[in-house]
């Protein structure tokens, strides 16, 4: 089913070389064409296999499937890179059980054989797009699969900002910040901040405040088609961070406008046939454990 395969590892990820080594041997024995991501695999000893290391911008245009060897953070990074090229993505987890990288290295070759025959599950997930502008000049334009977080800087003071949804004023709040989360990200930072767990099949966004000043501020779920705009309040004289997936950061202050929308394309995730999201939730959140 897939003939041209891209492999992505962890940045500075010597710990994943053994897994990539096994992966390469298995795929090359099946006469697959394998390319390595230059951003994350530049130090991998690829010469022994005769496979090419390709810059990511070019790599995503040449492959039919992306295999990520690492953790959920690595998966998030690669997902943002491949989403606009229709490349499905599969994750092999090197640490604890992940929400996104759900295949163990122990049985990855058996699962890969099934995937190559098309015996797997395909799932589509929303991403969100974040644009930050000031004086109508665009300063930041990035994607997020999990969440976008507005967060105070190192100052102990709360930040004050206004939120608008679809051109309608929602509220003004003083807090440590707010998380705008996709269903995928609802089990990440948003969960720690008291947000709802959202089924990944839903087309929604959740707005979750971080340590709000007023107890009446509660998580709010809006349609995925919504346009969210965030403005620092006119009384604001400091600076805050906007963070995408915990990886991409931009500073904002009075005069900045942050616009958050659903991205036009969906990420295509591949799971083994036995994948069950509810089972994953039970394992990660220890639902049903006897105390």
**Catalytic site residues?**
72
Cα separation, 132 vs 260, in Å, equals: 9
- Do the Cβ atoms of 68 and 91 come closer than 8 Å? yes
- Do the Cβ atoms of 144 and 128 come closer than 8 Å? yes
Q: What is the 3-state secondary structure (H, E, C) of 203-266?
A: CEEEEEEECCCCCCCCCEEEECCCCEEEEECCCCCCCEEEEECCCEEEEECCCEEEEEEECCCC
> How would you classify residue 249: left for phi > 0, otherwise alpha for psi between -120 and 50, otherwise beta?
beta
Cα separation, 202 vs 206, in Å, equals: 11
Question: What φ, ψ does residue 175 adopt, rounded to 5°?
Answer: -165, 180
Q: Nearest-CA neighbor of 222 among 195, 191, 245, 255?
A: 195
Beta bridge partners of 159: 175
The two three-digit tokens of residue 233, written as one number: 């309040």
CA distances to 97, 104, 261 from 282, rounded to whole Å, are: 12, 17, 31
């Amino acid at each position: 089913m897939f003939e041209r395969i891209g492999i992505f590892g962890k940045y500075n990820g010597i710990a994943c070389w053994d897994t990539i080594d096994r992966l390469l041997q298995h795929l090359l024995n099946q006469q697959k064409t394998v390319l390595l991501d230059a951003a994350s695999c530049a130090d991998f000893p690829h010469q022994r296999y005769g496979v090419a290391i390709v810059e990511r911008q070019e790599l995503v245009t040449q492959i039919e499937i992306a295999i990520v060897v690492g953790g959920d953070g690595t998966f998030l990074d690669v997902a943002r890179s491949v989403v606009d090229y229709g490349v499905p993505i599969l994750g092999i987890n090197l640490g604890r059980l992940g929400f996104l990288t759900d295949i163990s290295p122990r049985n990855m070759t058996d699962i890969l054989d099934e995937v190559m025959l098309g015996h797997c599950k395909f799932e589509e997930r929303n991403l969100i797009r974040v644009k930050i502008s000031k004086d109508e000049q665009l300063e930041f334009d990035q994607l997020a699969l999990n969440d976008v977080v507005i967060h105070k800087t190192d100052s102990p003071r709360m930040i004050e900002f206004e939120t608008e949804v679809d051109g309608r004023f929602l509220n003004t709040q003083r807090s440590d910040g707010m998380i705008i989360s996709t269903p995928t990200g609802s089990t990440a930072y948003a969960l720690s901040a008291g947000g709802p767990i959202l089924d990944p099949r839903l087309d929604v966004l959740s707005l979750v405040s971080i340590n709000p000043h007023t107890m009446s501020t509660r998580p709010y779920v809006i349609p995925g088609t919504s346009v969210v705009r965030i403005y620092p309040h006119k009384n604001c004289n400091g600076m805050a961070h906007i963070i995408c997936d915990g990886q991409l950061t931009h500073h904002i202050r009075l005069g900045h406008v942050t616009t958050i929308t659903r991205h036009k394309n969906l990420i295509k995730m591949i799971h083994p046939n036995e994948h069950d999201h509810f089972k994953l939730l039970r394992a990660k959140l220890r639902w049903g454990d006897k105390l």
